[in-house]
Structure 1
Amino acid sequence: MILRVAFLGPSGTYAEEATLALLGNECERLAHPSIQGTLRAAAAGEVDCAVVPVENAVEGTVSATLDTLWLYPQLRVRRALVLPVRHCLIGPVQHLTDIQAVYSHPQALAQCQGWLEEHLGAVERIPTASTSEALRHIGAHTAAIASERAARLHGLRVIFRAINDHPDNCTRFWLVSEKPLTETLPPPGGCTSIAFALRRNQPGVLHEVLSIFARHRINLAKIESRPTKKVIGEYLFFADLEGGVEAEPVNTALRQVAAVVAELNILGSYAVEQSGG
C-alpha cells in the first residue's frame, strides 16, 4: 500500500526531508500550508499519516504542533526522527549589500539571528509559513533562508551555506497517524510522550503527578506547559518519559496519573531515529 502523507510544504521543506528519511520515495507526499492543516488532514482521514516538527535544539518546542495535537486525541505518535538542520542564504543577488529583506520561517530566522546581525545588520526579516514558502518571495533585492535541497529543487542560487548560529542544530519530527502503520514501524521504542490537563482549584496536583513518576523511577526527559487559550493562568502540560507504555512501571504510573488529572492523552510511544542529513 502506498501511504498518503501530509507535511508542511511547499516542496523542499525540512518536513519533506524528514518524510523521505522516514518513509522513502514510495509514499505519496501531500504538502499543506500550515502545521495545523497538516495534522487536521491526518485527523480527518484525508491522509494516512502526517510528519510535523515538534522540537528544535536551539529554539525549543514547536508550539503549533503540541497545541494542535491536543485538539486531535485520536492521533498517535508512531515514529520520531532527529534531522540535522543546515540553513542557507538563497537568492539571485551578487553582493550582500544588495539585500533589503530576508524571508523565512520564524524559527529559521531565529536560528540564524547571529549570522544575520553580523553580515546583514538591520536588513528587514520577514516571517513566512515555512522555509520553502520563503523562496517564493525571492527577488532582485530579497533573499530567503532555506535548505540547500530546497534551493536545488527550485533552481535557485545558494549565496552562503551553513549560516545557522549553532552547527549542531537539529529538529525532531514526529510521524503521527490515527491507525497503526505496522509496515512502517521500527521495534517499540523507549520514549513516551503525554499531555494532561489538571483539575481546577485543586492545589498540589502537579506535584502529585511528578511524585508518581518519581516513585516508579521514571525519568522525565522534558515537561512544559502551554496555555489552554481559555482562561489566563490555565495550562496544559506536555511531558516526555523514558520508557515505552508496554513497560510495567510506565503503564502503572500512567494509570495512576489518569486518576488524579482532569484529562490524560498518551500521545504515543516510539523510538527516536537519527538522520545523517
Structure 2
Amino acid sequence: MRIGVLGPRGSYSEMAASRRFPDAELVYFDDIEDVFDAVESHKADAGVVPLENSLEGSVALTLDLLLSRSLFICGEVVIPIRHCLLGRGDPDSVRIILSHPQALAQCRQYIRRRYPGVEMRTTGSTSHAARLAQEFPEMAAIANLEAAKTYGLRVLDRDIQDSKNNMTRFVVLSREMSKRTGNDKTSIVVYLEKDRPGALFAILREFAVRNINLTRIESRPSRKELGDYYFFIDLEGHVEDDAVREALDGIEKAANMVRVLGSYPKDNTPSE
C-alpha cells in the first residue's frame, strides 16, 4: 500500500501516517495539494494531510481542497506535537529560524522571548526546514526529534511550543467512503444563502433534536463576496446511522448545498 504524505522525511505527516499505516510504503510530496493529486490520480492508495491544530486551528488549504476535490476522509490520526529547535551551530548563533507557518505560529511566544528580532522564514513543512538548516550554522529549524536524527542536526532546545497540550489532527484521504464501525465521525460542508435569518439555527436544530453531538463547526469564506461562508461541521455517527441520515435529509431541505466529506472511525487519542 502506498500512502502519500507531506515530505521530505522527518515530517509530522510521516509520523501520523506511520502510526496509521505501519507497514505501508510512504511517498513524499512537497505540498498538501500534491498529496490530493496523488490520491486522485491513483499514484497513492491514500493520503495523510494535516487538518487542524489545537493551538492554531484549521489548515485552510486542506479545508479548501476537501471542498473542491472528489476525495473522502476515511480516517483520522491525532498526534502530540513536540517542537524542537534544531541546527548545526549553538543556540546563541541563531539568526534565522525556518519552519512551516503553523509551526512558527505554535512557537510564537518562545521565539519572541528567546530570539527577539530573529528573521523567520516559512517552508513547505517542518522537515523541509530541517533539511535547509543543514546549510548554515546561523540557521535553525523548528521540527521534531526524528528530523534531527534524519538530517544530522543538534537539538538546541526542546518542547518549545507555546502549550504542552499541542495536538494536530490529520485526516486520511481516500477515493471511497469508509464502512460503518459503530465508533464513527462524519464530516460535512454546508452552504447557506447569505442574509437568510435563522438558516444556521435551522441546520443545527436538525442535529440537536436527534441528540447528535457536534464536535466541530467552522466557517470558511466562499470567496464569492464578503460575509458569504461555507460551514464545515464534524459530528458523531456515520451516514449509515438512521439519526444521521435523517438529520442530513432535513438539512438538505434548508441549505443551498450539503456535501458529505466522509464518515470514518474516530481516533480516541486523549489530549495530554
Find 2:191's aligned residue among 181, 197, 204.
197
Contact 2:84–2:145 (CA<8 Å) still a contact in 1?
A: yes
Residue 119 of structure 2: aligned partner: 124
- When the two chains are superposed, the root-mean-square deviation of aligned CA atoms in Å is 2.0
Partner secondary structure for residue 69 of structure 1: helix
Tell me how far 1:230 sits from its aligned partner.
2.6
Contact 1:82–1:272 (CA<8 Å) still a contact in 2?
A: no
Residues 188 and 155 of structure 1: CA distance in aligned 2, closer, same or farther (over 3 Å): farther
Tell me how far 1:200 sits from its aligned partner.
4.9
Q: State how many pairs are aligned.
A: 269
Residues 102-134 of structure 1 show CA distances to partners (whole Å, capped at 9, x for unaligned) of 000111111111111221111111111110111
Find 2:101's aligned residue among 99, 106, 127.
106
Q: Report the Cα distance in structure 2 between the residues aligned to 1:274 and 1:168, rounded to whole angstroms.
A: 15
Residue 48 of structure 2: aligned partner: 51
Residue 14 of structure 1: aligned partner: 12
| Structure 1 segment 215-254 matched on structure 2, within 5 A | 215-254=209-248
Residue 76 of structure 1: aligned partner: 72
Structure 1: which 5+ runs fail to align?
A: none
Partner secondary structure for residue 273 of structure 1: coil
The letter of the residue matching 1:271 is: P
Find 2:255's aligned residue among 261, 264, 272.
261
Tell me how far 1:201 sits from its aligned partner.
5.8
The question of 1:67 aligning with 2:42 is answered no
Q: TM-score, normalised by structure 2?
A: 0.92
Residue 170 of structure 1: aligned partner: 167
Contact 1:21–1:275 (CA<8 Å) still a contact in 2?
A: no
Q: Report the Cα distance in structure 1 between the residues aligned to 2:115 and 2:195, rounded to whole angstroms.
A: 50
The letter of the residue matching 1:247 is: D
Find 1:34's aligned residue among 9, 14, 31.
31
Moved more, 133-142 or 84-93: 133-142
Q: Report the Cα distance in structure 2 between the residues aligned to 1:20 and 1:67, rounded to whole angstroms.
A: 25
Q: Report the Cα distance in structure 1 between the residues aligned to 2:3 and 2:118, rounded to whole angstroms.
A: 37
- Identity value in percent: 38
Contact 1:101–1:123 (CA<8 Å) still a contact in 2?
A: yes
Tell me how far 1:274 sits from its aligned partner.
5.1
Moved more, 211-220 or 170-179: 211-220
